[in-house]
Each structure stands twice: as C-alpha cells, then as structure tokens.
Structure 1
Amino acid sequence: MLVSGVEILQKAHKEGYGVGAFNFVNFEMLNAIFQAAIQKNSPLIVQASEGAIKYMGIDMAVGLVKILSERYPFIPVALHLDHGTSYESCVKAIRAGFTSVMIDASHHPFEENLKETKRVVEVAHTCGIGVEAELGRLMGIEDNISVSEKDAVLVNPKEAEVFVKETGVDYLAPAIGTSHGAFKFKGEPQLDFKRLVEVKKLTNIPLVLHGASAIPDSVREAFLSSGGDLKGSKGVPFAFLQEAIKGGINKINTDTDLRIAYMAEVRRIGNENNTEFDLRKFFSPAATAMTKVIAERMDILGSSNKI
C-alpha cells in the first residue's frame, strides 16, 4: 500500500526504531527490496535519486512502485525522492506520484537553504506529501579534525531548531559525520552522537541518517572474492547505526551495500561460467543476495514486525 513518508516515519519516531530507505534503479532491485519487507513484516521506504529517475524515467520509477505496492498491499511503502536538487525537481516528483521528497539545499548558506526548503514544504503539504531537508555538510570526520572544523562541517543544533520551526519540514537529515559511498573514514569510524541527541531534543521530529552504508564483512568478502576491489573502504558499523537510532534517527538511507552485494553475485556467476549469457541466471541470484542484505538490515534497524 502506497502511503506518505510522514505516516511511516512518525510511527518510527514515536516508537523509537529505524526504517531503511533503500535506493533502486531497476525492477530487480525494487523487487528484492519488497521481498525483504515481506520476509520481515517491515514498513518500507524506497527511494530514487535524480540520476536513477533519469536512467529509468520518472513514469517507470513510479509505475514499478505502484505495481508492487498493489501486488503486496499489506506492506506500507513510501516512494521518496532522494536528494532533489531544486524546487522544480521536487514538484515534478510530487506530480508524478512520489509520496515523499527531499529538497537538498544544504550546500547553500543557511538562510537560502531555509527559504528553498520552505517553498517545497508549502506545495508538498497541500498534497499530503512529506518533505525531508538536510543541514550541515555530509563528509566523513577524520581522527585529527579540530573542534572548529567539526563545527563548520556538522549540523548546528540551534540552527536545526530554527530551521524546523521556520520551514515546517517533516524530517531532517543532520550531518553528524558520515559520507556517501563506500569510502567514509580514513581512521576509525566516528559519529557525533552527542550532537545528534541535541538535535533530536530541539526539533522533536524524525531524523535521517545519510551515508549509512555498513559494508558488512559478508558483503565485502563476496565482492573481493569475485575479483572486486573496495580499496580499503570502511562503512558505518552496525553498532553505530543502532546507537544513532537510540539518539533519534528514524530513516536510514541504504544504497552502496545493495550495489556491492548485487555486483558480487553477478561477477561470481560470470567468473564461474564464462559461456553464460542468460540475464536471468545473473539477475535472480543477485537479487536474492540483495534481499538477504536488506532483511538483515531491517532486523538491525528495528523495523521488522512493525506492520
């Protein structure tokens, strides 16, 4: 059943658990995500970036989600625009059938970010659509970064309070030390949980963790053994994800882990049988590997059996 992102995340906010927001770029990925939700009886957020929409077509992205949500009506699912770069992009997604959008103006000065987010909120709320925004700059924190440098990169809790009050945004992604992709930390992983708790206290809305790829050992080993190279990547440990949820995170973006698991299986099959060219022989096992990663993540985040 296709529902608003607000419906899913407000429940998680009130009950103190996290919901994975899983990116997709084709049917195989999307179906793998739904299969995990069915296995774990979990609510679901599926999200498409502007790049994914360009690849699939916005009508295809929405159409696939609608078809699967109708096939499995017992799964509450929100379709989210990930990192919308403009007001126009968000409006286009809303008109196409997305039930949640993110306006990412975090690279702009605070006042401009606030103004642009408020514009999106005004139009989205007239349609019953939830809005996500971001504060701070998303990049990893190195061991030797100074306090002043951290304050320049990470979210300012007082600014977050003002931002939420002025914009009416439904959920907020505060920068607390993660980064996108597989290569997050040069030293030991660090997240500013104290800052997160303060943001939650001052805003009292669902919070979002971007750059939350974990790169679990099983996924890493499968990718490396198939001939892949992750160049010493470090993800966010599961224990950190759970600590972040305790601190107030309710939406956890997940993309890189899915891609790594998928490609590890595709490469393994190709290595084992270099005469194989039936796409189904590659895609079905790859989707199964992805479903396994997602199901494990739902248990870790606490969304299993929350329907």
Structure 2
Amino acid sequence: MNRRKLREAAAGYLFLLPTLLVIGTFLLAPIVYALFLSFHKVQLLGGISYRFIDFDNYVRMGADDRVWIALYNTFEYAIIVVPLQTALAILLAAVLNSKLRGRNAFRILYFLPTVTSSAVLTLIFMWIFKTDGLLNDLLGVFGIQPFNWLGDPKVALKGIMLMNVWSTAPYFMVIYLAALQDIPDSLYEAAEIDGARTLRKFWSITLPLLKPVTFFVVTMGIIGTFQLFDQAYIFSNGSGGPNNSTLTVVLLIYQYAFKNLDMGYAAALAVMLAAVIMLVTVIQRRIFGEEKLN
C-alpha cells in the first residue's frame, strides 16, 4: 500500500472515529461488561467487588420459579400482541391506502397514540380499568357489576396487551402504508382483468409482496414485546402483581438489579433474554425467507 492510500485510509478512519467511540462506549462496552458480570457475584455495598462463580448465575435460573413465570408471561404477551398489532396495522394501512375521503385526517388520528408517552397511556388505561373507572361505568349502563380489572391476575396482563396493541399498531401502519404505495397498480389492474375481486387481490398480491415488510414488523414487534417494562412497572407499582401476573423478564431484571442489588444474576438474566430474542429472530428469518420487495 503506497503512501497516498495510507493517508486516505487514515483520513477515513479519522472521520469514523467519533462514531466508533460512541458505539464502543455506549453499545459494545456495556455488552462486554454485562457478560463479565454474569459470571461474577457482585458486592456493591462497602465498595464494589467481584467474585468469579463460573456458571452459577445461569444454573440458578433453572430453580428460580419467578424466572419461569416471567418467561411465560412474556411469551404469552408476545404471542398475542404481535399478531394482533400486525394484523391491525395491515388493516389500517389498507384502509388508508384506498381512496378514502379525509384519509389524511385519519392518518393523524390513528398515529396519535404512537407519539404519546407510554407512561401517560398507561395512566390513562389504569384510570379506564380501575373499579370506578370508565370501563365499569360503561358496563354499568348494561347492568353489569363492576369488576376489579387491575386486581385480577387473569385479566391484568390482558389490559396491558390491549393498550399496547392500540398504541403500537399505528407505528407499523405507517411502515405498511409506505410499502403498499410501492406496489405497482398494474398488478391490481391485471388481476381485475382476470376477474379477481378485492379480497382475492389482497391475498394473492398484497400480502405476498408485503412479506419482507411483515418480517421486519414482526421482528421489531417481538423485540419490543420481549422488552416490555414501563407499562408492567406502572401497572403493578414495580411488583409484577397481582400474583406475578404482570411480571416480565425485563421487570424481573430490574427487581434483581436495583431492589435486590444482585447485579451478577440480573446480568445473567439479561444475557439469557438477549439469547432468546436472537433465537426467535433466527426462527422468523427461516420462516419468512430471504425475499425482497422489488
């Protein structure tokens, strides 16, 4: 390599240096440190100290009932929320992509929940679900007795699901809407000539061409649902209650890290969660394939 190419390479890396420093400091370094912590017993009080304990933190997960409860709740949440928010996003995008009068106003109205703080949305839904809240008032009109929606372990997580489907579907709707507008009208015109009706065109043209976008939406949806924390924290006041029904993996990590000060075990749980998300993403990639939208 001659001197000119060396100067060009050095200049290129110099321009990249700020980005590399930011990525290294705020992304790579925390990952490496979390891996380091997961193999240690960390003592925070009286001075930070580390004691290497091999795979004990990972072995401990198998006997921790709350880990299995959190995993079950998180998987249940993901399995229900992701398909619902994806289907709703496609439906809303298809409606807005049609020649609907006032569709620009509808786009703004549909997108409002996405730009609203999740903490504010949670407080609003808690007011709706509380015993003397809006939902029970509406049910009272039909003579139905008030129900403790937030205090019933069978219902509490469903309330968070409903809130998240309502608040996240508009974000994915915008992504689907952009993809729908890239589909050539000639495909639909050819299908109409062949006698295809609206539903047939949707199943045979729209959905297949949206497959790469759907892979992205489902992947981002699963990552988001596995990282559920703030809504579950606010709903349960940080406890994961009632009866651990709203306990998620990230909330459990928070409890071990900042309430029990068990940083090593919390780091091991975080590594386990990252591995689960990666595994699910790889499985999705195998299901959706490598197709690209042309």
Larger RCO (CA within 8 A; separation ≥ 6): 2
| Structure with greater helix percent | 2
TM class by shorter-chain length? under 0.3
Q: Which has the higher strand share?
A: 1
What TM-score results when the alignment is normalised by the length of structure 1? 0.24
When Rg is computed on C-alpha atoms for both structures, the one with the higher figure is 2
**TM-score in terms of structure 2 length:** 0.25
